Every structure is written in C-alpha cells, then in structure tokens.
Chain A
Amino acid sequence: MTARLKTIAGIVIVAILLFPLYWMVNASLQPSGALLKPDPDWFPVEGTLDGYRSAIGSQGGHLLSSVIIALGTVAVSLTLALPASYALAQLKIRGGPAFVFVLLIVQMIPGIVMANALYTVFANLDLIDSYLGLVLADSTATIPFAILLLRAFMISIPKELTEASRMDGAGYWRTFFSIILPVSRNAMVTAGLFSFLFAWADFLFAVTLTTGQSFEPITVGIYRFVGNQSADWNGILATAVLAAIPAAVLLVVAQRYVVAGLTSGAVKD
C-alpha cells in the first residue's frame, strides 16, 4: 500500500471510530422533533442552540460543581503527592519501596468497594453531599497515580543537583521548592491534568456520596437526565458535549502530557 492510500485509509478508520462523537454533536444541534424523525438528518441543517440553552439552564450549576470538585482534587492530590514523591525518589527512606508497592496494589481496588465503605464513614462524619467529601474520595484514585508518576520522574533528577543546592546551605524545603518543583514541571502538569480529568469524569463517587439535595456533579446530572425518560435527546447530548469539552481541550493543548500519562507505568522507553 502506498503512503497516500494509507493516509486515506487512516482517515476512514478515524472517521468511523469517531463517528459517535460526530453523532453527539450533530444531535446536540438539532431540535428534539427533528431527532424523532424516522430517517435521521446526517447534518444539523435546521441547526438550533436550544439544546445548549436548556443544558446551561438546567445543568450549568452541575458543571460548576464539577469544576470545583476537579480543581479541589488537583490541589489536594498535588499537595500530598509532590512531597511524597520527593521523599521516595530523592531521599533514601526505609519502607519506601514497600510504600510504592502498596500504591500499586491499592490502585486495583474496585471503586465500588471504596464507595461502599466511604459512604458509611462519611455518613458518620457528615461528609455526604459535601464538596470536601467528594474531593477526598476522588483523591483515592488520583493520589496513588500522581505519586507513582511524579516519583518515576523525580528519580531521574540528578542527585548532584539537589546535593549542590544543599551544599550551598539550602534546607530540604528550599531544595524541594526551588530545585525539585521547577525541574518537575512537566510531570506535575501531567499529574495535575489526569487528576482533573478523573475528578471531572467521576461518576461512582458522585452518585454514591451525594443525594442531589445540595449540589450535583455533571456526571450525575447527565445520568439523571438520561434516566428520566423525557427523551429530550437534544438537551441531553448538548450537556454531554459540554461535559466533553475539558477532555477535548486538553487533548488539543496538552497532547504530549496526555500521552505521557497514558503510557506511564505501562511501558518504559
């Protein structure tokens, strides 16, 4: 096969695999009535933004809640993971390898088990329906990942660099803040991005640890929207498009970080 044929075949493959996403955008731009015709419109010829209007009207608050939770998760995860990774990567610590092993293991615990147990704990601590509760729960998935990723990066920082800084009289904190953190910027961005994406997309903790009485993350919003049989697919899919935006934006502006995070822990170059 010539290179040009391969390019064409590649475009066809991508078009087929990404068709569901096109179909989502297409439906989000068509009035609900048009979606219920026997033969679907392949292009939003009678385009309308009504879906987006109703999505922002009914789900705007949920989107905002998810932003708060996702940013909170990034903050908590990085605050805990950065110093821990520094200790594990740069300072010899007894029990360090064991701790890394524990992190590998806990990543395999099914989320439903965590949710089941956290629900009973949170109910006693009044953390149901609380932003703090959801941030802490989401961090169970992001902290082990962030530590493993950051640690793998920080190991590669030459010890001479940190030792030289300490020779110059900088304490561990100074070394951490003025050497380790700036050097680890890329790994930090990757860990932060993935923490954001996870918390943004989280549905399991969101649906188990909130009751919908005070706030509702967007994933639960979509779930209830889909479930209430209104068949307002225009509104549902407009909401879905809005919820997909962070992922799409991140893929465009931060693709190399995304690929770095995806392959970390699985393959080593």
Chain B
Amino acid sequence: MTLTATRPLTTSRTARKSRSGDRFVAWAFLLPASAYVVIFFGYPLVANVVMSAQDYTVRSFYTGEAPFVGLGNYAAVLRNPLFTTSTVNTVVFTAASIAFQFALGLALALFFNGRFLGSSLLRSLLLLPWLLPLVVSGAVWRWMFDQDHGVLNTAVGVFGIDRIPWLSSTSWALPAVILTNIWIGIPFNLVILHGGLRAIPASLYEAAELDGAKPWQRFRHITWPLLRPVTGIVLMLGLVYTIKVFDVIMVVTGGGPANATQTLTTWSYQLSFHDFAFGQGAAVGNILILVATVFGLLYLRSAKATLAEVAS
C-alpha cells in the first residue's frame, strides 16, 4: 500500500529533477561543439563581411589599419571585366558538370540496378574516383591532357584528329576541366541514385510488365516519377558542391590560360592570395555565398521532408 502510494511521488520528483538536470547536462555536452561553431563559422563570416567593406591589403596585417571603403570593393569587383568572365565560367562549368554527371550517373545506376554476377563489386569499384584527393585526380588528368605526350591526344589521333591543345587553348581549357569534374562527380550521382532506385518497389515493375509496358514506358511512368525526390536532392547537392570547386581547376589549369577557366571561387582566391586584395577577395566570396545560399535554400525546400526528419 505504502509502496504504491509513494512510487508515483518519487518517480515524478526524480523525473522533474532529471529533466532540469537533463537540460544542464545536455548543454554541457553540446558546449564544446557550439563554441567551435561560433568561433570558426560565426566569427569568420562576420569578419568576411567587415573585410569586404575595407581596403584590406597586405599592409593591413602589419599596421592593423584597413580604411573603411563602404561598397567600394563590390563596385571595383563588379567593374572588373573578370567578374563577367568568371561568372559565365562558373555558370557553364556548373551547368555542364551537373548535366553530364547526372545523366551518366543515372544511366549507370539503372544499369547496375540489374541483377548480374559482380554488379555490386563493380559498382563499388566505381567509387574510387570520388574518394581520391581531388589534387590527385587533377594531376592525372593534367597528364592525360598533355598536348604532346597525353593519352587523350593519342586516342583522338586514332580518328585522324590533330593534337588538341587542351590546356593551352582558351577554347579547350574550360571543356577540359569540365570533363575532369564530370569524371569525379559520376560516382556520387551513381551511388545516391542507385539508392533511390532500390527503394522503388519491384511489384510496380511486375504489374507494369503484366500490362505490357515497354522498358521506356516503365522508366517514364514508374522510375522517373518515383525517383524525383532523390533526383532533386542529388541535383541540388551537386549544385552546391560544384559552384565552389577549387582544387580541380587549380591543379589542371590554375584558372588559365588567360583566365579562360577562372571561376568565382578561383578568382576570389586570386584576389586575396595573389593580388593581396583581401577586401575584394572577401567581396567576391560574399557574392559566392549569396549564390550558394539561394541554391541552398532551394535545396532545403526540395529536401523539406528529409530535413523535418533530421530536425525532429
């Protein structure tokens, strides 16, 4: 009798105590990570905005002085002809990379979704290009693009085509870095899309086959619509990653020749770390953030369901 009477009392008291204890302890566990986020994301972001409004040069590091110039850096950047060049390059690089990565990744995902001997082993081998350091992939492709000794020109020579000046011609350099980036991005698209394909119930295909649907019809009316949520996520993630590609371009072309492969990312690097115009570099960086945020929000909107699950 006494037991049953006291029990709810004690549990509710301990529950209350543990709930307030919970809150305190939870914060203690979260504190190091949140302090890190504030210091290493919050501060740099603010510093970047402040810097973009200052004439921040290499002298500023010694004197500690960086005169306020308001929107001067943004004006200078927008007036610079390189702004148009690198924006156009960024758009072309991103759009072409994503279109081909996605198309090839989807084709491969469909192919490897079939059951045959070795399909999962072969599929996992294809992950390798994605896991390699980008600098390594860049170096390999630079060697293959070599005008006189590169294997790509040997290959096109078979078809009687003259040696292509891949990296020294302003019209070939951008396609060359795009080609490299497509190769790097295929595995990511393949794996995610393959995961999406597996989630489509096989019974749907069986039913469609019974109704006499051709392979193309099955793709058009079952695979494509049911894959859409995954497609959206892959494309948006691809966009967010591709906009900020740096390593590949730096190793393969360094942004050249004559800025033919300069993107907003490499240009921002150029301004800050070659011209030591840190204020202008920060301004370009902020423009890049703006673009990435717009696409990022689009991504979050398309991934709302996933997000709701993550945040629950």
In the complex, which residues of chain B have a beta carbon less than 8 angstroms from the beta carbon of A84?
A: 29-30, 32-34
Are A23 and B254 touching (Cβ within 8 A)?
no
Q: Does B293 contact A (CB under 8 A)?
A: yes
Are A117 and B51 touching (Cβ within 8 A)?
yes
Are A110 and B288 touching (Cβ within 8 A)?
yes
Are B29 and A91 touching (Cβ within 8 A)?
yes
Main secondary structure on chain A at its contact with chain B?
helix
Interface residues of B (CB under 8 A from A): 18-19, 22-23, 25-27, 29-30, 32-34, 36-37, 40-41, 43-45, 47-48, 51, 56, 61, 108, 111-112, 114-119, 122, 124-144, 146, 148-149, 151, 154, 183, 186, 188, 191-192, 195-196, 199, 230, 233-234, 237, 240, 243-244, 246-247, 250-251, 254, 265, 268-269, 272-273, 278, 281-282, 285-286, 288-289, 292-293, 296, 299-300, 306-307, 309-312
Contact with B along A24-48 (1 / 0, CB 8 A): 1001000000011111100000000
Contact with B along A135-176 (1 / 0, CB 8 A): 011011001100110001000000000000010000010001
Contact of B44 among A91, A118, A139 (CB under 8 A): A118
Given the contacts A243-B135, A255-B124, A121 and B47 also touching, CB distance less than 8 Å:
yes
Q: How far, in whole Å, are A151 and B36 apart by their CA atoms in the complex? A: 17
In the complex, which residues of chain A have a beta carbon less than 8 angstroms from the beta carbon of B247?
A: 203-204, 219
In the complex, which residues of chain B have a beta carbon less than 8 angstroms from the beta carbon of A219?
A: 133, 135, 247
Main secondary structure on chain B at its contact with chain A?
helix
Given the contacts A7-B117, A20-B144, A83-B30, A223 and B286 also touching, CB distance less than 8 Å:
no
Given the contacts A40-B151, A147-B33, A172-B29, A117 and B45 also touching, CB distance less than 8 Å:
yes
Are B269 and A112 touching (Cβ within 8 A)?
yes
Are B143 and A148 touching (Cβ within 8 A)?
no
In the complex, which residues of chain B have a beta carbon less than 8 angstroms from the beta carbon of A35?
A: 149
Q: Does A189 contact B (CB under 8 A)?
A: no
In the complex, which residues of chain A have a beta carbon less than 8 angstroms from the beta carbon of B33?
A: 80-81, 83-84, 143, 147
Interface size bracket, A side: 35 or more
Shortest CB–CB separation between residue B62 and chain A, in angstroms? 10
In the complex, which residues of chain B have a beta carbon less than 8 angstroms from the beta carbon of A104?
A: 300, 307, 310
